[in-house]
Amino acid sequence: MLKFNLIVAVCENSGIGLNGELPWRLKSELKYFSTTTRRRQNPKKHNVVIMGRRTYYGIPENKRPLFDRVNVVLSTTLKPAELPENVLLHSSLEAAMQHLEQSDQQEQIDTVWIVGGSQVYKEAMDSPRCHRLYLTKILKDFKCDTFFPNIPADFQEVEPDPEMQLGIQQEGGIQYEYKVLEKQ
C-alpha cells in the first residue's frame, strides 16, 4: 500500500489560511516546504503533491503547478480541461492513491505529500495510508478562516529529518518551529 506524508504550517489558533492565501509571509518556511516536498531518496524517481481545488488555486498562478513534482488536484466539480495537461484530477484522496498504485507510475514515485486544504488533511490523517505529519508550528495567532483539524492522539513526535533546522526559527518577528509526528 502506497503511503503519504502531510506537510502544513499552523499558527497557534490552528489557522492555516485566510481568503485562500497564507495569513503570514515567511520566505524561509516556503523554501522549507518546496525543498521538503521535492527532496527524493532516489533522484530517478519523482514526488507527488496532492491538494484540494482551493489549495491549488491558492498557489500563485506563476508558481502552479508546483515545479518538479507531480501535481494531483482533488475535486468533484472541476473538469480535466480546466487544469493544465500535466495536472492529474481525482474526485477523492483514495481514488488518487489507487490511481497512483495501479498506474505504471508507482515504481517512479519516491514520496507522496498531502499539501492541503483542511478537508484533505482530515481525510489524510484518518487514513491507514498516513505515515508522517511535517508540522511547522507558527508561534503566533493570525486571523484565519481555514483551520487545521485536530491531530489524532495516535500521532507521536519523532526525531526530525537530518536536513531540518532544529529549535525555534525567526523571520520578520515571527517565531516558528519544525516538528515531525508519526502515526503510530
Give catalytic status of residue 85 as yes or no. no
Instruction: Measure CA 81 to chain center.
Output: 24
Strand boundaries in the chain, DSSP class E: 4-11, 15-17, 46-52, 70-74, 87-90, 109-114, 130-138, 146-147, 155-157, 168-171, 174-183
The answer to whether the peptide bond before residue 117 is cis (omega within 30 degrees of 0) is yes
Residue type present at position 80: P
Task: Pick the catalytic residue from 22, 66, 100, 181.
Answer: 22
Q: Where do the domains of the chain lie?
A: 4-183
Helix (H) or strand (E) holding 56: helix 53-58
Say what the pTM is: 0.96
In the set 6, 26, 29, 83, the catalytic residue is 29
Residue 29 appears among annotated catalytic residues? yes
**Per-residue pLDDT, 82:** 96
pLDDT for 104 equals 76
DSSP state for residue 175 in the 8-state scheme: E
Model pLDDT, residue 161: 85
CA dihedral 122, 124, 126, 131 (to 10 degrees): -130
What is the per-residue pLDDT for 145?
96
CATH 3.40.30.10 fits 4-183, yes or no: no
Residues of the chain with pLDDT under 70: none
